[in-house]
Amino acid sequence: MGTYYFIKSKLDGNVIDIQGASTSSGALLDAYPQKTTGSDNQLWEFVADPQGSGYYFIKSKLNGNVIDLQGASTKPGTLLDAYPQKTSGTDNQLWQFLADPGGSGDFFIMSKLNGFVIDIQGASTKAGAGLDAYHMKASGSDNQLWSVVSGTFPSPVSAVPAPSAGLGSNSNYFISNCSNLKGVSVTIDVTQDIVGSDGFGFQVNAYSAKSDYDGGQQYLIYLDPHSSPAQLNCMVDNWTESPKLGQIINHIVPLATLPSQKLPSGYQLKISLDNDSSGNITGATYVVSDNTGKTIGNQTIKLLTLDLVSGSPVTSADLAPVVSFQLDFVDYLNGGTTVLSSGAGEISYNASNAMTVFNSEPSCVDWTYSTVEKANSSYGVLPGHANQAFTQTFQTSAAGIVIDRKAAVRHITSPQPA
């Protein structure tokens, strides 16, 4: 028999509890005052994933059921329950323990499924407040921080330190797999209306491996501040460094019309990269959903159907896999700076193979570039543990604009002389 512990909230000292001490499969979890007797429904064991993922099941002393995201849902706010431990498809039952970057000594309990963390709904201090899985907050996170009573979390991980230029504007983490990333998708869920003085854009800035001709691959969704009615566009903007810096693909397609020059709370943007059997990026699919879940824009750009900036058709020689990428929330185009008056949400990163978070360009990349568009945006921390899914917060920053790094690339709507 293992060793069992109470898991205590930093918010109010309540502990993770199976509601009503129910032994039913799917019994909901809440935060409840720690009991002195009859506490089996509040006691938990940490069981290492037998597949060696580095994550843990959190197993109840009451009946052996484990902490589980209901229905394996990836939606923020998904309720947590106690459910029998599965032998496959277990990502919604596996957890890792991320040390609070603020140095409190407490920990976020982070899901392997989507990077969400165990959260007391609405930061309620009421006995019996429900538990859900929600994106990790950059501040005011006491309802997401936990400690082990008379024990410690096993194999805790730390947040990856911020890049030298900070976490904001055109400086974010590098997400990498130097054996080629496949099935990459980036989903942006807006939780606060996004309003910028010069529009805004979300850029997947991807890096190919050393010596690849198509060295910098950029896939964007942006709001054109000069459009009427307000227009979201999607774009491919790919570059080569050798034999000299030059733009090789530049293609823009209208994606969706908005009610006004803002992206409302509840909207979702998604950029998915397509691969061939060799891992080369062959195109991208861009989807916009409104705050009712209705798809209002859906475009796929296939690179082999396009022409190069030179006028010749794109061929397989102009394609390459990506080994690393960075998501930047910045101005829309043309090296501009937008001042965000509001905007917040979460960025979900997914791939078919494991990804690792770096705070500087990984060694498998030989071209140092970043976009020159800027904004007063900031990003949350990510863990240093390989996974197929991460979730990161973003928000408007009062700290100002992050400075450019060297060898920046400019987005333009016509070819740029080298």
pLDDT over threshold 50, residue 414: no
Q: What are residue 123's phi and psi, to 5 degrees?
A: 50, 35
- The SS3 of residue 248 is strand
Token look-up 């890792």 returns: 96
Domain membership flag for residue 307? yes
Q: Please tell me the total count of domains within the chain.
A: 2
Name which of 50-54, 274-278, 305-309 the model is least confident about. 50-54
| Domain span holding position 341 | 174-409
Q: Are residues 103 and 46 in the same domain?
A: yes
Domain membership flag for residue 163? no
Q: Are residues 279 and 317 in the same domain?
A: yes
Distance linking the first and last C-alpha atoms of the chain:
68
Encode 37-73: b = buried (16+ Cβ within 10 Å), e = exposed: eebebbbbbbbebeeebbbbbbbbbbbebbbbbbeee
Domain membership flag for residue 33? yes
Top pLDDT among 205 and 76 is at 205
> DSSP label at 404?
P
Mean pLDDT across the stretch 202-221?
A: 90
Q: Are residues 232 and 196 in the same domain?
A: yes
- Of 148, 164, 186, the residue at which a domain comes to its end is 148
Q: Are residues 229 and 363 in the same domain?
A: yes
> How high is the mean pLDDT of the chain?
91
CATH number at residue 23: 2.80.10.50
Q: Are residues 188 and 315 in the same domain?
A: yes
Q: Are residues 178 and 104 in the same domain?
A: no
pLDDT over threshold 60, residue 74: yes
Domain membership flag for residue 376? yes
- Of 148, 183, 203, the residue at which a domain comes to its end is 148
Q: Are residues 143 and 12 in the same domain?
A: yes
Domain membership flag for residue 165? no
In degrees, rounded to 5, the angle at the alpha carbon of residue 252 between the alpha carbons of residues 256 and 374 is: 85
CA 266 from centroid of its chain's CA atoms: 16
Number of neighbouring beta carbons within 10 Å of residue 354: 14
Q: Are residues 17 and 134 in the same domain?
A: yes
Q: Are residues 259 and 366 in the same domain?
A: yes
Contact predicate 80/28, CB 8 Å? yes
**Quick one: pLDDT band at residue 403, thresholds 50, 70, 90?**
very low
> What is the per-residue pLDDT for 209?
86
Q: Are residues 116 and 234 in the same domain?
A: no
- Enter the tokens of residue 80: 């947590």
Q: How far apart are CA 21 and CA 26, in angstroms?
A: 12
Q: Is 225 left (phi over 0), alpha (psi -120 to 50) or beta?
A: alpha
Q: Are residues 183 and 114 in the same domain?
A: no
**Quick one: pLDDT band at residue 137, thresholds 50, 70, 90?**
confident
Token look-up 């996004």 returns: 194
pLDDT over threshold 60, residue 405: no
**What is 346-397 written as a DSSP string?**
EEEEEEEEEEEEESS--TT-----EE--EESEEE---BSS-EEEEEEEEEE-
pLDDT over threshold 50, residue 400: no
Domain membership flag for residue 44? yes
- Of 148, 183, 199, the residue at which a domain comes to its end is 148
In degrees, rounded to 5, the angle at the alpha carbon of residue 137 between the alpha carbons of residues 123 and 396 is: 120
- Enter the tokens of residue 269: 């943007």
Domain membership flag for residue 414? no
Domain membership flag for residue 308? yes
Q: Are residues 261 and 365 in the same domain?
A: yes
pTM of the shown model: 0.82
pLDDT digits (tens, 9 = 90+) for 328-383: 999 999 899 999 999 998 899 999 999 999 999 998 887 777 789 999 999 988 98
